[in-house]
Amino acid sequence: MPCTTNLAAAARRPFPPLHKHLLLALACTPPSDHGLPHTHWTVRLLAFMAFSLALLPSISHETVRVWLEAAEIKPHHSRYWLHSQDPDFDAKMQDVVGLYLHPPKNSVVLCFDEKTCIQALERRHPDWPMRPGSPQRREFEYIRHGTQDLFASLNPHTGEVWAECRDRHKGEDVAEHLAWLIKQQPRRKKIHLVRDNLSAHNTDAVKKVIARHRGRVQVHATPTHASWLNMVELFFAEVSRNVIRRGNFASVPDLQQKLLAWVEWHNENAKPYKWTYTGQPLTK
Are 108 and 64 within one domain?
Answer: no
Does the residue 251 lie in any domain?
yes
Nearest CA among 153, 158, 165 for reference residue 258? 165
Give residue 9's pLDDT: 46
Are 197 and 97 within one domain?
Answer: yes
**pLDDT at residue 84 tops 90:** no
Are 30 and 105 within one domain?
Answer: no
Are 42 and 179 within one domain?
Answer: no
Are 255 and 158 within one domain?
Answer: yes
Are 119 and 23 within one domain?
Answer: no
Are 54 and 95 within one domain?
Answer: no
Are 99 and 237 within one domain?
Answer: yes
Residue 150: C-alpha distances to residues 19, 147, 271 (Å): 55, 10, 20
Give residue 281's pLDDT: 63
Does the residue 273 lie in any domain?
no
Does the residue 130 lie in any domain?
no
Does the residue 189 lie in any domain?
yes
Distance between CA atoms of residues 279 and 115, nearest Å? 26
Are 107 and 56 within one domain?
Answer: no
Structurally, the chain folds into a number of domains equal to 2
Q: Is residue 120 a contact partner of residue 147, using CB atoms and an 8 Å limit? A: yes
List, for residues 106-116, the tens digit of each pLDDT value: 999 999 999 99
pLDDT confidence tier of residue 83, bands split at 50, 70 and 90: confident
The neighbouring-strand residues paired with 153 are 112, 162
Does the residue 16 lie in any domain?
yes
Among 52-61, 189-198, 217-226, which stretch is predicted with the lowest mean pLDDT?
52-61
Predicted model pTM: 0.79
Does the residue 121 lie in any domain?
yes
Give residue 193's pLDDT: 97
Q: C-alpha angle 154/160/162, rounded to 5°?
A: 60
List, for residues 241-278, the tens digit of each pLDDT value: 999 999 999 999 999 999 999 999 999 999 999 888 87
Are 32 and 101 within one domain?
Answer: no
**pLDDT at residue 2 tops 50:** no
CATH number reported for the structural domain that contains residue 172 in this entry:
3.30.420.10
- Arithmetic mean of pLDDT, 175-191: 94
> Which structural domain range is residue 261 located in?
89-125+140-268
Are 118 and 241 within one domain?
Answer: yes
Does the residue 248 lie in any domain?
yes
Give residue 5's pLDDT: 40
Does the residue 61 lie in any domain?
yes
Nearest CA among 103, 110, 27 for reference residue 64? 27
Are 182 and 257 within one domain?
Answer: yes
